[in-house]
Amino acid sequence: MTKIPTAEPDLAAYGSCWRVGHGGLLHLAATTAPEFEQLPDPKSWLSPSLHNEYTLLTHEGRRREWIITRWMLFRQLQTVPVVAPGEGVEQLHLERGVNGQPLLPMAPDWGVSLSHCPGYAAVLLAPGRVGVDVERYRPQVHRVVDRYLQDAEKMLLGADTGARTLGWAVKEAVFKWMGGGGIAFREAIQIESMHPERSVLRVRVQPSGEPDTVVIDVHYHQQPVVERVCAWVVEGTSFPLGSSAH
């Protein structure tokens, strides 16, 4: 994972960016940034179907987070070569998969994952399957922790709110990477080890309908000062169970 220099195109003005996977990009930003106050007219860069979806949103906070994540993705598409040179991307068009996950019809081999929470937004664009989740620390996680963490995971992560929120973000990112739908967080996604020197958690998963269990490296970026954590998975970070990968 490589942090993009601030000299990289306007993306630097919209938060922090990292190169991930095989030519992919992770973009994390505060939705309160002044750069988001005057976005171009959505009609000029959203496809008609996405614009219609946007107009149907009534909650102001939800509308703001929705449009910001799409704008971040649109700007990424100006930087990441997902289409043939010279073609360009004039409008953002997304379709939905079987379980509602976003799909890029212009680049079916590329994965897209979007996430937002009060104050923050994250967009992940990379080849293959991807998953990202951004969360603010929430005391409520203590009331529901037994629904998504097993006892061994709670001991591994720790008992504070930041640790429990990290556990949720990691499992949500893996859930998206797996395609969502009918997957039990607590049983099918298990955190096995922590590697804080690399900001990685190693997770064992049982994909739905697949006989083999795999192990995934989930990266995370945690900022305790602002009580925020972001976790993500990209293609190429999974290994067959029993692999000697370190």
pLDDT, tens digit (0-9, with 9 covering 90-100), for 145-203: 999 999 999 999 999 999 999 999 999 999 999 887 778 888 899 999 999 999 999 99
The SS3 of residue 67 is: helix
Lowest mean pLDDT among 74-78, 88-92, 217-221, 222-226: 88-92
Confidence grade of residue 227 (pLDDT, cut at 50, 70, 90):
very high
pTM attached to this predicted model: 0.88
Q: Are residues 21 and 116 in the same domain?
A: yes
How large is the average pLDDT for residues 121-130? 94
Q: Are 116 and 133 in contact (CB under 8 A)?
A: no
> Any idea what the Cα angle at residue 216 is, between residues 102 and 212, rounded to 5°?
95
- CATH number of the domain enclosing 195: 3.90.470.20
Do 123 and 43 fall within a single domain? yes
Read off the pLDDT of each residue in 50-69 and give the average, rounded to a whole number. Answer: 94
Examine the domain organization and report whether 14 and 123 are in the same domain.
yes
Range of the domain at 74: 2-128
